[in-house]
Amino acid sequence: MAKALVVVTGASHGIGHAVAARFAAEGHPLLLLARHPEAMDRLQSDTIMRAAVDVADYAGLKAAMDRAEAAHGPVECLVNNAGFLKVGALETRDPADLSYEVDVLLKGVINGTRAVLPGMVERGRGTIINLSSIGDRVPGPDGEVYHACKAAVRSLSSSLQKGKATRNIRVVNIAPGLVRTNIHQDMGISFEEYCRLLGNPEFISADELADIIFYCWKLPQRICVRDLVVMPTSSSFG
């Protein structure tokens, strides 16, 4: 049987790219979305589609999904991964930057979910996996907007799961922490400085997290891992 279409946002690097590679290895057709799609060329397949889309742009997001569904059938799994972390004193940050952060981290998840949900409700099945953060329940002293948005994503995931459970739709909130990605670049610091700020902890690899996400997906549709914190065993944080 043909494999289900999977959509991954923020697929150009880090967790998103690792998730895309994991699903591609299992033969799933993919729609990979990112603001800079040229970075997604490392994955090559006739069943992989790419689109330069900002998740804050609902019309562009929906149009890309419509094209993918026309080629590969309905979206059965959406991985809402797009995001970034900015730190700095809230009182000195540009209000426009703060607004855009909310657009990507929260509205982007809402936009992706809104685009796939009608079809999932109609078919009576589907899976939405939201990449939150350990910060959705243990916020830090910096990155206030980031943590607030992640807390909202966790709440959204829980509310959607309760509301759509009787329609056989799974909504999964994954709350990882200490994953080795290039998130430090958005903070304007080196990985070494990022490690020092965190106390030089152990990190999980993006590939290891992708394996966990894929596991949540491949479980029978009647089973939903609703809220999952993923941290290194050696970390007491959270």
Supply the CATH number for residue 92's domain. Answer: 3.40.50.720
The three-class DSSP label of residue 77 is: strand
Which DSSP symbol is given to 107?
Answer: I
In a domain, 129, yes or no: yes
The three-class DSSP label of residue 137 is: coil
In a domain, 83, yes or no: yes
pLDDT band (50, 70, 90) for residue 94: very high
pLDDT score for 208: 96
pTM of the model: 0.93
Taking all residues of the chain, what is their mean pLDDT, rounded to a whole number? 92
pLDDT score for 38: 65
Cα gap 235→231, rounded to integer Å = 7
In a domain, 35, yes or no: yes
pLDDT band (50, 70, 90) for residue 196: confident
Cα gap 11→36, rounded to integer Å = 9
pLDDT score for 51: 95
Which pair of tokens denotes residue 150? 């992640």
What pairs with residue 75 in β-bridges? 5
Q: What is the mean pLDDT of residues 128-132?
A: 98
In a domain, 137, yes or no: yes
In a domain, 237, yes or no: no
pLDDT score for 140: 82
Give the residue ranges of DSSP H helices in the chain: 14-25, 58-72, 95-102, 108-123, 144-164, 183-186, 191-198, 206-218
In a domain, 153, yes or no: yes
Q: Is 215 a catalytic residue?
A: no
The three-class DSSP label of residue 229 is: strand
Cα gap 141→152, rounded to integer Å = 17
Q: What is the mean pLDDT of residues 191-195?
A: 80
Strands 30-34 and 227-230, sheet pairing: unpaired
pLDDT score for 96: 97
> Per-residue pLDDT tens for 6-61?
999 999 989 999 999 999 999 999 999 998 866 666 777 889 999 999 999 999 99
User: Residues 58, 146, 194, 215: which is the catalytic one?
Assistant: 146
pLDDT score for 180: 83
- Residue 186 clears pLDDT 80, i.e. is over it: no
Q: What is the mean pLDDT of residues 75-101?
A: 94
Q: What is the mean pLDDT of residues 222-230?
A: 97
Query: Which amino acid does the sequence have at 233?
Result: T
Q: Which domain holds residue 221?
A: 5-230
In a domain, 178, yes or no: yes
In a domain, 235, yes or no: no
- Counted domains in the chain: 1
pLDDT band (50, 70, 90) for residue 1: low
Question: Which residues, 6 or more positions from 73, have their beta carbon under 8 angstroms from its beta carbon?
Answer: 2, 4, 5, 29
The three-class DSSP label of residue 38 is: helix
Integer angstrom CA distances of residue 170 from 8, 13, 117, 206, 220: 16, 25, 11, 23, 10
